[in-house]
A and B are shown apart, each in its own frame.
Chain A
Amino acid sequence: MKTIDIVRRAARSLRSAKTRTILTSLAIAVGAFTITVSLAVGEGARQYADNLINSNVNPKALFIVKDKTLFEGGAQRAAITEYNPDAAQTAAGATIVSMTQKDVDALSARSDIESVVPTYNPVVRYMTFDGSSKKYSADVSTYNDSILSESAYGSLPPQNQQLGDTDAVVPEAFVDTLIKAGVIKEGADLVGKKVTLTAVQATVTPTTDQISAAFATGGQAAVEDLVKPQTKDFTFTIRAVSQKSSSALTGVTAVQIAPNAARAISEFITAGTNEYQKYLGVTALVKGDTDPQKVKEALNNAGYYTQTAKDLQGLIFTVVNTLQGIVLGFGIIALIASVFGIINTQYIRVLERTREIGLMKALGMRGRSVSRLFQFEAAWIGFLGGIIGAAIAVVLGVTLNPWVTSVLGLSEGTKLLIFQPLPIAGMIIVLIFIAMLAGWFPARKAAKLDPIEALGRSSIVIV
């Protein structure tokens, strides 16, 4: 019997039992729906992450540290470690090995590295704006010239060109607060305005010799001066107000300044402490067409730990893949449940149609063809379930995409559910195969039926 004839007979037979067919396929549809959504979420998240990384990280950038635990979240850190004068304390109180100026110089001298910028830690106590005495708390970060940001007011330097040493970029988020405070009338007023960052030097406990020397020269007042924290004002001219961007990872609420200025602040506040010219890590750009991966390997051999832009991408993708895997797992569990539904339904169908099977076999239909008839019925159920599940998922996803985007506060046009026809088609094909596999047991029973017995053995008496 020709396959096409069997497929057609299978479809006709299913049509004559519509309710049962649809109910059985709905069980598969649940699994198909979950899998389609997980595929869409995974793709959406990956594209979003890709977009995020491309607009925040220069593909040529390397992040280099000396302490491996920085990349490992400290999981393998020993409870007690040997004292190291180059070690700094993280906020969590753990010691980490810092990069020193010597490391920075050594990296700068390498032929495969274009530039090295240490991660400065320019902590300031407060900032003040020209024309107002109000003090505001401030986060300060180094301006990243390797990505192209957009400005709301004023103009940013072109890509790969740094700010001037006295330039600053403030985020758009400042505008509302400053208008309310009366510092400015509108956002554009910020451009050209002066902002002063006030940094405080870490207190250094003076030695006995220093105290006696100070006392000898200036008496009690000189000693008080010695232990009084030193403050210093750093004044910048606001060059631009950066625009809010949904795909930006950093710089949302920080004042951005040039690396040189950041170093000045950083070195001022750490002067005299053991954190002076110590850095958690450095950002380096590889030279020209050099493969960042090769530079990474060379640096790792030299005792550093390096992350490339790809590694960062991999890190985010790992998270996405894990989440997708969990959703996918639920879909697969639903599918396993539906497999038993198919087996059960098909067994009942074989029982119901015993006479029909007997007739077909009496007319000379091969057992193999009978088996395929029932397997194709199961395949139709799988196909139907896949189509129903995928269709519901696509319709729901396309309808809910704008809502999801607005709830998560993503920029307009960002889609978190991306449906691709090829994986969905692939899933439906897999579902058809799973359904056929499930239909194999009942189909085999049908194929093995004896035509005489199946047609009713009224004339045969067994004693």
Chain B
Amino acid sequence: MIEIKNVTKTYGKKGSTFQALKDVSLTIPDGASVAIVGKSGSGKSTLMHAMSGLDRPEAGEVIIDGVDILKLKKKAVDTFRSEKIGFIFQSFFVQANESCYDNVSLPLEISNSKASQRKVRIEEALATVDLSDKLKQKARNLSGGQKQRLAIARAIVNKPSIIFADEPTGNLDSTTGEKVEDLLFSLNKKEGSTLIIVTHDTDLARKCDVQVYIKDGQIEQTVGLAASTAGKEHK
């Protein structure tokens, strides 16, 4: 379970500050698929960064599985991310000059997983995204959709409990985008991992169990399972 309590994040120095998140509270149950919807600059990415431990809001609590990650030391936050979080980005961020195998291997190496287990896990992850035949291919030789599927394989190889997807279909055409969406949702259902998608695409958002609309650093509206919503609602 992810609980966000009264989180405030301010950017900039004295005189020219900007509040990206203003006293935001939100609860996400395990295994849910959540869309954080908002315009550019609304604070949706900042919210994702705060939930994933990439960013440190100056006030509030981010409690994941009972632990406030804002109270953890940097090293512990890094370990938390390497073990519990998977990331998928709009522009893939796969290493073009490395093979698919080495791309997927990176999270396993970072989390110090045993070398003997890696091969099985990597092959499993690549099979899940249907890229088994591209194992030794350089990532640069893949198409956009394949690259994003490779990124998904990299995100799931460590079997994380939460997967963050930042505009996962933003760089893909609609057909390819739909395939990637289907893959993400099927993984969410099959593996039971929490899926948090940051997007401004309302069609994609509607496919999620919960939609969190954010504007000017505040949650405007939360739509979805009543049980899964909590915290401050505006309007």
Contacts and interface: CB of A to CB of B under 8 A. Distances in A.
Interface of A: 1-2, 5, 9, 12-13, 16, 355-356, 358-366, 369, 451-452, 455-456, 458-463
Interface string B102-122: 100011011110000000000
Q: Which secondary structure characterizes the binding site on chain B?
A: mixed
Contact of A360 (B80, B89, B91, B106): B106
Nearest to B109: A5
A365 B87 CA distance: 13
Contacts of A12: 98, 102
Contacts of B16: 463
Nearest to A369: B110
A459 B46 contact: yes
Given A1-B109, A363-B106, A459 B85 contact: no
Contact of A460 (B46, B79, B87): B46
A460 B45 contact: yes
A388 B80 CA distance: 43
B95 interface: yes
A2 B18 contact: no
Interface residues of B, number: 38
11 contacts: A1-B109, A16-B97, A356-B95, A359-B87, A360-B106, A362-B81, A364-B85, A456-B91, A459-B41, A459-B45, A459-B198
A458 B82 CA distance: 24
Interface of B: 11-12, 16, 18, 20, 40-41, 44-46, 49, 52, 54-55, 75, 78-83, 85, 87, 89, 91, 93, 95, 97-98, 102, 106-107, 109-112, 166, 198
A360 B45 contact: no
B81, B93, B107, B166: most-surrounded residue (chain A CB, <10 A): B93
A461 B9 CA distance: 13
A362 B107 CA distance: 10
Nearest to A15: B97
Contacts of A2: 109, 112
Given A2-B109, A459-B45, A363 B87 contact: yes
A363, A366, A463: most-surrounded residue (chain B CB, <10 A): A363
Contact of B79 (A364, A451, A456): A364
Contacts of B198: 459
Given A1-B112, A362-B87, A363-B110, A462 B75 contact: no
B82 A365 contact: yes
B109 A462 contact: no
Contact of B75 (A360, A366, A451): A366
Nearest to A356: B95
Contact of B107 (A363, A456, A461, A463): A363
A12 B96 CA distance: 12
A321 B111 CA distance: 52
A463 B17 CA distance: 7
B111 A463 contact: no
Closest 10 CB pairs of A and B: A364-B82, A459-B45, A364-B81, A16-B97, A5-B109, A364-B78, A359-B93, A463-B18, A365-B110, A461-B41
Contacts of A1: 109-110, 112
Given A363-B81, A363-B110, A364-B85, 10 more contacts: A1-B109, A12-B98, A16-B98, A362-B54, A364-B79, A364-B107, A364-B111, A365-B78, A369-B110, A460-B11
Nearest to B97: A16
Given A2-B109, A363-B106, A364-B110, A455 B89 contact: yes
Contacts of A461: 18, 40-41
B16 to A, nearest CB: 6
A361 B107 CA distance: 10
Contact of B11 (A355, A362, A462): A462
Contacts of A369: 110
Contacts of A363: 81-82, 87, 106-107, 110
